[in-house]
Amino acid sequence: MQLTREQDHLAAEGSDAERLAMRLLVALGTVYEADALLPITSAHVSGASLKTVGEPGMEFIEDFSRTARVRVRTTVNPLGMDLLRWREIGIPEEFAAKQLRIAAAYEAMGCEPSWTCTPYLAGHRPSFGETLAWAESSAVAFANSVIGARSNREGGPSALAAAVTGWTPRYGCHTAEGRRATVTIEVDAKVRGLGYSLLGLHVGKLVGDGIPYFRGITGTEDEWKWLAASLASAGSVPMFHVEGATPEWRGAESRGLPSERVTAAHLDEVKKAMSTGADPDLLGFGTPQLSLTELRQLADLVEEIRPRRKFWVCTSRWVRELAKEDVARLEARGGVVLADTCLEVTPLELVAKTTATPSGKAAVYLPSLCHQKVLLGDTEELLRGDP
Average pLDDT over residues 360-382: 97
- Asked if the bond preceding 113 is cis, omega within 30° of 0, the reply is no
Asked if pLDDT for residue 160 goes beyond 90, the answer is: yes
pLDDT of res. 326: 98
**pLDDT for residue 4:** 97
Q: Which domains does the chain have, with CATH numbers?
A: 5-174 (3.30.499), 180-272 (no CATH), 275-384 (3.30.499.10)
Residues 6+ apart with CB under 8 A from 380: 193, 301, 305
List CB contacts of 40: < 8 A, sequence separation 6 or more: 72, 131, 132, 133, 162, 166, 167, 168
Q: What does the pLDDT read at residue 148?
A: 98
Per-residue pLDDT of 309-368, as tens digits, reads 999 999 999 999 999 999 999 999 999 999 999 999 999 999 999 999 999 999 999 999
Quick check: 89 pLDDT over 90? yes
The answer on pLDDT for 386 being more than 80 is no
Query: What pTM did the predictor assign?
Result: 0.97
Q: What pLDDT is stored for residue 254 in this prediction? A: 86
At 112 the pLDDT is 98
Taking residue 173's Cβ as centre, other Cβ atoms within 10 Å add up to: 21
Strand partners, 224: none
CA-to-CA dists, residue 62 to 36, 102, 166, 195, 328, angstroms: 30, 7, 20, 41, 37
Over residues 7-27, the mean pLDDT reads 98
Average per-residue pLDDT for the chain: 97
pLDDT digits (tens, 9 = 90+) for 191-231: 999 999 999 999 999 999 999 999 999 999 999 999 999 99
- Condensed to tens digits (0 to 9), the pLDDT of residues 277-300 reads 999 999 999 999 999 999 999 999
SS3 37: strand
According to the model, what pLDDT value does residue 311 have? 97
Q: What is the pLDDT of residue 20?
A: 98
Tell me: pLDDT of 387 over 90. Answer: no
